[in-house]
Amino acid sequence: MFCAKRVFRCFKALERLGNRITGAAGPYFVGLAVILLWMGTICFFDVIAPSLSYPLISIPLCLLVALNMHAHYFYVCTVKPGFIDDTPAEAGTSFLWAKRKDWYNSKSLTGGVRWTTTQVTPATMTRCGRCDKSRPERAHHCKVCNRCVLKYDHHCPVRINQCVGLHNERHFVLFLAYLSVATFCVGALGYNQLIDSFISYDGRWTYHVPEVMYGMIYILSVVLCFAVTVMGLWHLWGISNAETSVESHDHEQYRQRAKARREAFVNSYDLGRKKNLSLFFNIGENGYPLYTLFIPFRILPYTDGRSWARPQGLERHRGVRAGEELTDASDDEDY
Ligand SMILES: [Zn+2]
Ligand SMILES: [Zn+2]
């Protein structure tokens, strides 16, 4: 028992060290990611774009994909995920902000409840075991940021150097989607130029970017395309189930616990796949127009993170007893 505790403490110390190192290296990763994204964009428009058919249609479409990819990456790195002690965010007035369909009605609603036809109930409040602050359900403590984040999904040190939470999760998923499309375009449309870059000794390489840079970007794009598409689909699957990354893990445990009692676990945020997706992207009824998925405008989430949409008559998860909810402190219980 004593030995097990020492091993556990050792792992915890290593985890803390890992958090510190990734936290310190985060800005360098982001700098590298920005350079690679721009290198990829320059390679595409210098080498691949001139060979595309129907340039009057294909070039503007490619420009739109590139614009969305860069804009959502910028947003996901700069828009704060939403910390519990921040004042609730308000929509900006600059041209970067999309206008809601039903702006007049939405303004008359209070308490973060911005949907009128779906039951939206205030979140249960708990106290964080680490920072000792009162927080609404779905908020979790990030060990790297050392703060509680609204609708915490995960901390991403390598790509964005901050948490993914309520206010930037939409940008994160859209960035993955557009990165996936962009890398697919490089892989699918730039193969002939890759061959040219290998046999360029006869002077056939007439582009501005060096052959080595193009070859490197092409190979990186193919690898990234697979990785990012799988990751994006995994996130979309979670969103369609109304689960964050943390919740998909927690709900699996609730499901097993409920099953052992011959009960069924019901996620109280689940309003059906279509509604879950439209709530996440905040489009459709009382939300923002559909074009906000294709033009990188800033928008607000449907809630301020202190109340949640739920099916009628389901105020909390079914199949989980009071006190059984997993907390961030669960993994520290024996510490
Ligand atoms: Zn906390
Ligand atoms: Zn964090």
Q: How confident is the model at residue 29 (pLDDT cuts 50, 70, 90)?
A: confident
In whole angstroms, give the CA distance from residue 167 to residue 98. Answer: 15
The least confident of 4-8, 26-30, 82-86 is 4-8
In whole angstroms, give the CA distance from residue 151 to residue 246. Answer: 9
Considering every ligand atom shown, identify the ligand nearest to the alpha carbon of residue 164 and give its number: 2
Q: What would the DSSP string read from start to end of 140-181?
A: EEETTTTEEETT--EEETTTTSEEE-TTTHHHHHHHHHHHHH
Instruction: Identify which has the larger pLDDT, 252 or 69.
Output: 69
Structure tokens at 168: 């930037």
Report the mean per-residue pLDDT for the chain: 84
pLDDT at 332: 47
pLDDT digits 0-9 by tens, 40-58: 999 999 999 999 999 999 9
Is 23's pLDDT higher than 80? Answer: no
Is 248's pLDDT higher than 80? Answer: yes
State in Å: Cα 240 to ligand 1 middle. 27
Assign 3-class secondary structure to 82-101. Answer: CECCCCCCCCCCCCCECCCC
Q: State in Å, rounded, how far the first CA of the chain is from the last one.
A: 12
Considering every ligand atom shown, identify the ligand nearest to the alpha carbon of residue 129 and give its number: 1
Q: How confident is the model at residue 285 (pLDDT cuts 50, 70, 90)?
A: confident
State in Å: Cα 19 to ligand 2 middle. 10
Q: How confident is the model at residue 14 (pLDDT cuts 50, 70, 90)?
A: low
pLDDT digits 0-9 by tens, 187-197: 999 999 998 88
State in Å: Cα 75 to ligand 2 middle. 16
- Which residues lie below 8 Å from residue 184, measured CB to CB, with a gap of 6+? 225, 229
In whole angstroms, give the CA distance from residue 332 to residue 140. Answer: 14
Residue 290: enclosing H or E segment and its boundaries? none
pLDDT at 110: 39
Considering every ligand atom shown, identify the ligand nearest to the alpha carbon of residue 23 and give its number: 2
Percent of the chain with pLDDT over 70: 82
Q: What residues does the ion ligand 1 have nearby, CB within 5 Å?
A: 128, 130-131, 141, 148
Instruction: Identify which has the larger pLDDT, 303 or 11.
Output: 303
Structure tokens at 292: 């906000």
pLDDT at 8: 56
Instruction: Identify which has the larger pLDDT, 29 or 104.
Output: 29
Is 18's pLDDT higher than 80? Answer: no
DSSP symbol at 115: -
- For 120, phi then psi, to 5°, come to -120, 115
Q: How confident is the model at residue 334 (pLDDT cuts 50, 70, 90)?
A: very low
3-state secondary structure of 316: coil
Q: What is the mean pLDDT of residues 145-149?
A: 93
In whole angstroms, give the CA distance from residue 300 to residue 298. Answer: 7
Q: What is the mean pLDDT of residues 207-229?
A: 93
How many C-beta atoms surround the C-beta of residue 249 within 10 A?
11
pLDDT at 117: 59
State in Å: Cα 11 to ligand 2 middle. 20
- Going from the C-alpha of 24 to that of each of 12, 20, 32, 78, the distances in angstroms are 18, 6, 14, 17
pLDDT at 153: 93
